[in-house]
Structure 1
């Protein structure tokens, strides 16, 4: 009798979970898409604000130089050893 009860409860909870998932899934998905949409809009507004805040006029060309720290690190990587391939 205990085995039948266990099987019955497993089947019952499986169907209950399916029913509740179908009932609440659209609501949860809608909430998730709304939060993602809000985050994307905030990020887009942040990028727009950065572009508008710069003092660059349209049509100007700006060349940004690399920081000196990056150039020095490449020089200290090691020595180049020239070699010849021997058959």
Structure 2
């Protein structure tokens, strides 16, 4: 009899959680999305201020970032060898 009571309690709790999730799930997800969006926006604005830029640029303003040095960093300095094309021999 204790097994039936346990199964009944588990089922009741399951259905109650299911109903609550349908009611409050979208509200909680919307809240979490707004908080995440605010954090990303704040981080972006902080980074823009740190670089001396504003989030709104004037019309006709041109900025050039030199990225040549950053690409050199990823290139391999040592020579690996030459390319050899092998042919299959039967």
TM-score tier after normalising by the smaller chain length: 0.5 to 0.7
Q: Could you tell me which residue of structure 2 aligns to residue 77 of structure 1?
A: 79
Q: How does 1:6-17 map to 2 (within 5 A)?
A: 6-17=6-17
Tell me the C-alpha RMSD between the 2 structures. Answer: 3.5
Alignment coverage as a number of residue pairs: 82
Gaps of 5+ in 2: 55-60
Question: Rg: which structure is higher?
Answer: 1
Cα distance, 1:38 vs structure 2: 0.6
Higher RCO (CA 8 Å, separation ≥ 6 residues): 2
Gaps of 5+ in 1: none
Runs (4+) of structure 1 exceeding 6 A deviation are none
